[in-house]
Structure 1
Amino acid sequence: MIDIIALCQLLFVLLLLVAAASDLRYRRIPNLIPALIVLLFIVGWLLGFPFTGPWWAHGFHFVAALLVGMLLFRFGWFGGGDAKLYAACALWFSFSDALLLMFVTTASGAVIVLVRALAIVARSIFGSPGAPPDGPRQKRAPRTIPYGIAIAAGGIASLYSVY
């Protein structure tokens, strides 16, 4: 017999890892990934995955996360894919687990920002590796932060903390 809990967890983790890889490489999270995470939640619910609260508490967390994400996107502080991915991830956690997901995701994001800042400082001090001293300028790295990595880390860590 298939262990529904392990299968749902594995698929959730794989989808988050694909989203993180896509955000790192392309700075884009395809809409299909959050949609599949939502669909997996629905299928998991129907098959008896032991979610931590009633469906409406998960739904409330999803709606709240989506609204906040859309607001952050409106002001340019968050990408549209990040907002959708976080909301889809939030659906997996009851509203009572919202602080855990938000804290772990924010802490992961802070680590990413710190690593990015250190890389920029190191590049300005030591120059780009392999570039001639006064040669042509190399293409600059994108200025955006791949926050999908932090969302994936927060979702995965929270999943194994809660379930």
Structure 2
Amino acid sequence: MFIVFALTGAVYDIRERRIPNWLNAAMLVTGLVLVTALTGWQDGLSALGHFAAALVGAMVIFALKLWGGGDAKFYAASAGWFPIKAALGLFVSVAAAGLIVAIVWLLFYKLTGRKLKRGDKVMPYGVAIAAGGIIMMLFRPDGGLLT
């Protein structure tokens, strides 16, 4: 389910440069319900705490105008699928994916001859959030929360 939500968010961000609130809400609620149902209320509370911490951090990044509000909510909703102990891993996975997406995006502009304009939102960072989350879900050292 996480991968479906993540890919849907990435596609929305590529096509429309926005990630809908309904998708973020559905992703968060589904993640918290599944984590709690499959692994217990302690892990559910841990995932809720991770969501809350990620939302605060993501809103700081939004306030600095480094990404959009939809990206901030998408990151926080993704965090709701992982316990708080996975916070650093998710952050690093998303940042690494962001670097790769940025390089690909810049190469695309370079190869197509398009011009990047200062201040334009040119890179769909939801793609990096989705990729980083999928990497965490599939390759976590502890085998993933929902396995």
Q: TM-score, normalised by structure 2?
A: 0.83
Q: Percent identity?
A: 35
Alpha-carbon distance between aligned partners in 2 of 1:27 and 1:155, rounded to the nearest angstrom: 19
Trace 1:112-127 onto structure 2 (pairs within 5 A). 112-124=101-113
Cα distance, 1:69 vs. partner? 1.0
Cα distance, 1:23 vs. partner? 0.1
Alpha-carbon distance between aligned partners in 2 of 1:87 and 1:39, rounded to the nearest angstrom: 12
Cα distance, 1:144 vs. partner? 2.3
> Structure 1 residues 42 and 120, CA, compared in 2 at 3 Å: closer, same or farther?
closer
Alpha-carbon distance between aligned partners in 2 of 1:84 and 1:143, rounded to the nearest angstrom: 17
Work out which of the residue numbers 20, 26, 47 in structure 1 matches 2:10.
20
What value does the CA root-mean-square deviation take over the aligned residues?
Answer: 2.1
Give the structure with higher Rg (CA): 1
Alpha-carbon distance between aligned partners in 2 of 1:29 and 1:115, rounded to the nearest angstrom: 21
Figure out how many residues of one structure are paired with residues of the other and give that number. 137
Runs of 4+ in 1 over 2 A off after TM superposition: 53-57, 119-124
Q: Which residue of structure 2 aligns with residue 106 of structure 1?
A: 95
Structure 2, gaps ≥5 residues long: none
Cα distance, 1:143 vs. partner? 4.0
Q: Which residue of structure 2 aligns with residue 146 of structure 1?
A: 124
Q: Which residue of structure 1 aligns with residue 24 of structure 2?
A: 34
Cα distance, 1:68 vs. partner? 1.1
- Whether the 8 Å CA contact 2:12–2:19 is kept in 1: the answer is yes
